[in-house]
């Protein structure tokens, strides 16, 4: 036998739990997107370091190679740095500001998270390395 006072209790409980559940799901989606983007940045930095190992004298071609090797996220030359401070090594760094999609926590955490990947390659060319920018 059901009491009439219990009618709608499940709907009220769902109204309290659903927003929290949605926030958790969107947080998990944000984490997955950030991990995917971090992996893409790592692969782009690796591609740039390999290219710069053979062509260390032309950083513009290296930057073009990096920006064309990654589809998502879209990075520009401003996101790339090439460092030649260590002899016979080239360090390629790719940086990206990854936006959150979680509606409440995203703005509370600053709206973006900065992802940065660096890959170091051994220069095999006899030409000198040119840093960028």
E strand or H helix that includes residue 93: strand 89-99
The runs of H, that is alpha helices, within 55-127 are: 59-69, 105-108
Identify whether 127 is part of a domain: no
Predicted local confidence at residue 130, as pLDDT: 85
Identify whether 133 is part of a domain: no
Predicted local confidence at residue 109, as pLDDT: 81
Identify whether 128 is part of a domain: no
Q: Is the previous residue joined to 77 through a cis bond, with omega within 30 degrees of 0? A: no
Predicted local confidence at residue 4, as pLDDT: 62
The range of the structural domain enclosing residue 104 comes to 4-122
Predicted local confidence at residue 133, as pLDDT: 83
Q: Which parts of the chain have pLDDT scores under 70?
A: 1-6
Please count the structural domains in the chain. Answer: 1
């Amino acid at each position: 036998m059901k009491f009439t006072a219990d009618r709608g209790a499940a709907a009220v409980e769902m109204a309290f739990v659903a927003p929290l559940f949605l926030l958790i799901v969107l947080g998990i989606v944000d984490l997955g997107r950030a991990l995917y983007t971090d992996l893409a940045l790592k692969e782009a930095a690796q591609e740039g370091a390999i290219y710069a190992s053979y062509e260390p004298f032309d950083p513009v071609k290296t930057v073009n190679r990096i920006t064309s090797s990654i589809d998502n996220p879209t990075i520009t030359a401003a996101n790339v740095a090439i460092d030649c401070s260590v002899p016979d090594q080239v360090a390629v760094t790719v940086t990206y500001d990854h936006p959150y999609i979680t509606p409440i926590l995203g703005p509370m955490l600053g709206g973006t998270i900065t992802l940065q990947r660096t890959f170091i390659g051994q220069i095999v060319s006899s030409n000198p390395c040119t840093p960028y920018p």
